[in-house]
Amino acid sequence: MLKFGTDGVRGVANADLTPELALALGRAAARVLGGDRFAIGRDTRRSGPMLEAALCAGLVSEGADVELLGVAPTPEVAWWSVTAGAPAAVVSASHNPFADNGIKLFAAGGRKLADDVEERLEVELQRLLGDDARNRPPDAPTGAGVGAVRAVSASAHAGYRAAVSATLGGRDLAGLRAVVDCAHGSASVVAPGVLSDLGVEVEVIHAEPDGTNINAGCGSTHPQELARMVAARGADVGVAFDGDADRVLLVDAAGELVDGDHIIAICAIDRHERGALAGDSVVVTVMTNLGFRLAMDKRGIHVVETQVGDRYVLEELESRRLHLGGEQSGHVIFRDLATTGDGLLTALQVLDVMVRSGRSLADLAGEAMTRLPQVLHNVRVAERDPAVAERLAGHIASVEARLGDHGRVLVRPSGTEPLVRVMVEAPTEEEAKAAADELVEAVESLGGA
């Protein structure tokens, strides 16, 4: 059975993540999350309608009414949950290849589920999957008690578009030219229109999903073509979404990538200078570049560190009453503006800084921070091993001792895939590569895929 990772359940559709499992998860969600109303959104994968139908069947079989949002960015589904005050689900595997899919759930109010809630869901899901499907509970809804299903019209996107645009406080982005890469994903139905309505001259690429091309050589996981086009077209900025549009990376006018660390740094400094950075603090994960930490320290901005996963960033933001945090991957949370990472919202915030300051993205990113050389390897293993760092403690300590205070090492299992992520930062690219290669060899010695 699939387990909840850092972002719901995820796996190969119709193999790991089956319709039977999705149906049981729908039933479990209705029981554990409660409420008589849910919404489901999905990205553009071929398997999306199949899993959406199964999840919906599970929910309505427990008496919950379901609103089908169709193809919608994950942050739009979270926004629906906030405005409706009801739970919601997204059928998406985010940046993963198209054959994968996943289901992530929001509690009423647009928040990702707490650990104890996920544990209750897992227990209920296991019980349901162990039941004989023919043995329905004696109090199962029948007749009018069965939930109703309503497909929401395309105009439903208008509320989310208006809410995201309103975060600029009435300002527009006129004068900017942008190339926008929608990754053949759910950003295709929202992002180009919002940017155009705000005055951006937009050229859109990779916005023709066919069910199999999501994230394929495009979007935030493959921004190379976008970078070339921005430079060739003389655009001011490139915007690269992932498949479900909850994260974004940017490209400056010269075609240089501006990742999540730089995006958070730009926005943190801008808010700090305007006296609008709550607690003069930001929340980032252990993957954030050491250069970011040094840059924030120089400006008197406190950095709070969490384990990898936007849910943990959000937990720290909420517990400390802070507003800005995120991940190097481009998953950025503005807690005063949204309840989850939102690629479109994040892009608007950075473009707004460009317009207000009259400065280029390259200038803003260069002044915000200087990245230390970082090498990251994803080592495929036979199965996820939460204790991999402990098993390699001796190797890690040896590398850390050699780098001293001028570098950083991180070895951790992926939260969603059978991978071990090895990250090394060092004063030079050569040192980082050598240390990373040494640790990759150590991981492989434990037994690969």
CA dihedral sign, ordered 11, 15, 19, 20: negative
Q: Once rounded to an integer, what is the mean pLDDT over residues 56-83?
A: 96
| pLDDT at residue number 417 | 78
Same domain, 326 and 382: no
- Residue 159 inside a domain? The answer is no
Distance separating alpha carbons of residues 433 and 399, to the nearest angstrom: 12
Q: Once rounded to an integer, what is the mean pLDDT over residues 20-34?
A: 95
Confidence of residue 152 (pLDDT cuts 50, 70, 90): confident
* CA angle at 213 for the pair 210 and 218, rounded to the nearest 5°: 135
Tell me which of 8-17, 234-243, 319-328 is least confident: 8-17
Same domain, 17 and 148: yes
Q: How many domains does the chain have?
A: 4
Same domain, 140 and 32: yes
**Residue 276 near residue 295, CB atoms below 8 Å:** no
Tell me which of 70-84, 127-141, 263-277, 386-400 is least confident: 127-141
Q: Which of 83-92, 398-407, 435-444 has the highest mean pLDDT?
A: 83-92
CB under 8 Å to 341, separation ≥6 — which residues?
74, 75, 246, 247, 310, 326, 331, 332, 333
- Residue 166 inside a domain? The answer is no
Same domain, 149 and 219: no
Distance separating alpha carbons of residues 436 and 389, to the nearest angstrom: 14
Q: Check whether 153 has a pLDDT greater than 80.
A: no
Tell me which of 73-82, 132-141, 278-287 is least confident: 132-141
Number of Cα atoms under 13 Å in the Cβ half of residue 327: 21
**Average per-residue pLDDT for the chain:** 92
- Residue 315 inside a domain? The answer is yes
Distance separating alpha carbons of residues 398 and 387, to the nearest angstrom: 18
Same domain, 16 and 143: yes
Confidence of residue 5 (pLDDT cuts 50, 70, 90): low
Interaxial angle between packed helices 260-273 and 343-357, expressed in degrees from 0 to 180 and rounded to the nearest 10: 50
Q: Check whether 382 has a pLDDT greater than 90.
A: no
Same domain, 248 and 278: no
Name the β-bridge partners of 385.
Answer: none
- Residue 161 inside a domain? The answer is no
Same domain, 100 and 233: no
CATH code for position 338: 3.40.120.10
| pLDDT at residue number 35 | 86
Same domain, 53 and 75: yes
| Residue, of 414 and 10, whose pLDDT is higher | 10
Same domain, 266 and 351: yes
Burial (CB count within 10 angstroms: exposed 0-12, middle 13-18, buried 19+), residue 93: buried
Same domain, 16 and 149: yes
- Residue 164 inside a domain? The answer is no
Q: Active-site residue numbers?
A: 94
Same domain, 418 and 302: no
- Residue 3 inside a domain? The answer is no
Confidence of residue 405 (pLDDT cuts 50, 70, 90): confident
Q: Check whether 137 has a pLDDT greater than 90.
A: no
Tell me which of 92-106, 126-140, 157-171, 375-389 is least confident: 126-140
* Residue among 395, 397, 404, 443 at smallest CA distance from 426: 404
Q: How many CB atoms lie within 10 A of CB 241?
A: 34
| pLDDT at residue number 131 | 66
Residue 106 is inside which H or E element, if any? Answer: strand 100-107
Q: How many CB atoms lie within 10 A of CB 278?
A: 15
Q: Once rounded to an integer, what is the mean pLDDT over residues 397-409?
A: 87
| pLDDT at residue number 250 | 98
Q: Check whether 248 has a pLDDT greater than 60.
A: yes
- Choose one of 213, 237, 256: the last residue of a domain: 256
Q: Check whether 206 has a pLDDT greater than 80.
A: yes
- Choose one of 235, 256, 277: the last residue of a domain: 256
| pLDDT at residue number 403 | 87
| pLDDT at residue number 139 | 76
- Residue 278 inside a domain? The answer is yes
Q: Domain limits at 273?
A: 259-368
| pLDDT at residue number 225 | 97
Q: Once rounded to an integer, what is the mean pLDDT over residues 86-97?
A: 94
Same domain, 267 and 148: no
- Residue 295 inside a domain? The answer is yes
Q: Once rounded to an integer, what is the mean pLDDT over residues 253-274?
A: 98
Q: Once rounded to an integer, what is the mean pLDDT over residues 386-397?
A: 87
- Choose one of 353, 368, 383: the last residue of a domain: 368
